[in-house]
Amino acid sequence: MQDNPNPPLRSEIKIGNPVWVIEKINYGTNVYKQGFVQEILTSRPQHPRGIKVRLADGSVGRVQWLMHE
């Protein structure tokens, strides 16, 4: 995988959504993490690297893709 050049907008991300994120320590790698959105941390409607969220396990990352159930 590679970082999504068009990550989802804030309006597309909802609390509880399953998502793929990249954590800051993994920028520039192909190490992505999946989880459920607990909190949306970015207030702007979009961000070039992805909207920052906190996952249910407490980790923080930028949403790259929404997982479809």
The pLDDT tens digits of the residues spanning 15-37 come to 999 999 999 999 999 999 999 99
Task: State the pTM of this model.
Answer: 0.93
Residue 19 falls inside a structural domain: yes
Residue 26 falls inside a structural domain: yes
Residue 22 falls inside a structural domain: yes
Tell me the residue range of the domain where 33 lies: 10-66
Distance CA(69)–CA(40), nearest Å, equals 20
Residue 1 falls inside a structural domain: no
Q: Which of 25, 24, 28, 23 is nearest to 1 (CA)?
A: 28
In the structure, what pLDDT confidence band is assigned to residue 69 with cuts at 50, 70 and 90?
low
Q: How many domains does the chain have?
A: 1
Residue 45 falls inside a structural domain: yes
Residue 3 falls inside a structural domain: no
Greatest Cα-to-Cα distance within the chain, rounded to the nearest angstrom: 28
| pLDDT > 80? residue 1 | no
Q: Please state the rounded mean pLDDT for residues 34-61.
A: 97
In the structure, what pLDDT confidence band is assigned to residue 68 with cuts at 50, 70 and 90?
confident
Residue 46 falls inside a structural domain: yes
